[in-house]
Chain A
Amino acid sequence: MIVQDIVEKLGLKVCSGANGLNREIEGGYTSDLLSDVMGNADENHVWVTLQTHKNIMAIASLKELAAIVLVKGYEPEADTLEQSNEEGIPILSSEEEAFELTGKLYEIINQAK
C-alpha cells in the first residue's frame, strides 16, 4: 500500500510533498506530542496529528515516516510545506477528526496486509 492509495480511499487533500505519493505505508501512529512520536512512531508509518509546526517535518524525516495527515482540515504552515516538498514526504489533510480518521486508516492498512 502506498500513500496515493490512502489519498484516494479517504479523499485526502495533498497539501505538499506530492513527489512522495509512492512511498510505502506499513502502519500508522496518532499523537500530537512530537516527543512521543519521536520515541514511538516507526519507519513507513503514516502519522495522524493536528500539529502544523515545521518541527513535524523534522520528526517525519528523522523517523522516515511515509506521510503526515493533518486532521480537522488543518493546513501546514508555509515553512512546513516548503520542507515537505524538499524532503518528498507528503503532508495530507482530512476534514475528519483524529478518532474517525485513525479508525478508517487502521482498517484500510490492515486489510492490505
Chain B
Amino acid sequence: MNKYRADLHTHTVLSPCGDLEMSPVNIVQKTKECGIDILGITDHNSTLHAPLIKELAAKEGIMVLMGAEVTTKEEVHCLCFFENEEKLSEFQKYLDQHLPKIPNDENKFGYQVVVNEKEEIIDEIECLLISGLNQSIEEIERKVHELEGLFIPAHINKMMNSIISQLGFLPPDLNVDALELSHHITKEEFLKKNKYLSKYNFIKSSDAHYIENVGNKWTNFFMEELSFCEVRKALRLEEGRKVEIEE
C-alpha cells in the first residue's frame, strides 16, 4: 500500500472569495512545491476550472479530483467530486439549473472569472456563486451518487455553513463518503464533543483561498495507486485502504 498526500479542498480565482493569484497554473505549481499528490478543486457551486487544472497537474504527476463545494438549500457546504469530465459536466448542468439567478456584484463579493493556461480571462460568471442551490442536502447527495461521485460535508465543526451549524446534527441516514474537519480542531477534540460521529471517516484540507495556503493542510491516503476508484475505497476504508489526518 502506498501513502499519498491529499488536499481535497481548494478554491480558484473562479470563486468570488478566491484570490486573483489562484490561477490554474499557480495552483499546480504550489501543489507541486508542497508535495501534494492528490488535489481537490472545489470552487463554490461551479466546476468550470477543474478540467484545465487536471490537465496541467497530470504533467506533474499530480492527480486532481474534479468537483465543487456546493451550497445546499439549508446553506450547508458539501464537497462533491466526479471521476471524469462527462460526469462533471452533467453535474455542472444540475448546478446551472438550480443556482438562483442573483447577479454577482464584484465590488462586494469579488471576481468570478475563468482563465486559461496563459492566465487570460476567457469567461466571467454572472450569477453569484456563493448563493444556496434550491435543492436540499439529500437531493444533492442523491444526484452526486447517481453520477457515481463522492459526497463529503465540508468543515462540519465550523459554526458557519456546516451541517452542524445549519441542521444541528448529521442526519443519520445521509449517505456521506467522509466528513471534513477544518484546521481549527483536532479529530480527537471533535469526537469528544460529538461521540455519535465516531464511526465516520474524516479528512482535513487547506480550504485555500490564497496561494500561500494551498497544500498547508492534508490527509494521508493509503491505497494501491492514484485513481478515483482507490480514493473512494480509501475514504470508505474498503479492502485495507484508509485515510489518516496529518495533525
Contacts and interface: CB of A to CB of B under 8 A. Distances in A.
A35 B74 contact: no
Interface in A26-66: 32-35, 37-38, 51-55, 58-59
A77 B168 CA distance: 17
Given A35-B159, A35-B164, A55 B169 contact: yes
Interface residues of B, number: 11
B174 to A, nearest CB: 10
Interface string A68-85: 000000000100000000
B165 interface: yes
Contacts of B159: 35
Contacts of B137: 53
Contacts of B168: 34-35, 37-38, 55, 58-59
B136 A53 contact: yes
Contacts of B169: 34, 55, 58
A59 B169 CA distance: 9
Interface string B144-184: 00000000000000010000111111010000000000000
Given A51-B74, A53-B74, A34 B167 contact: yes
A51 B72 CA distance: 12
B182 to A, nearest CB: 15
A6 B166 CA distance: 27
Interface in A2-46: 32-35, 37-38
Contacts of B136: 52-53, 77
B13 to A, nearest CB: 30
A27 B31 CA distance: 54
A33 B137 CA distance: 15
A33 B165 contact: yes
A35 B136 CA distance: 18
19 contacts: A32-B166, A33-B165, A33-B166, A34-B166, A34-B168, A35-B159, A35-B164, A35-B165, A35-B168, A51-B74, A51-B166, A51-B167, A52-B136, A53-B136, A55-B168, A55-B169, A58-B169, A59-B168, A77-B136
Interface of A: 32-35, 37-38, 51-55, 58-59, 77
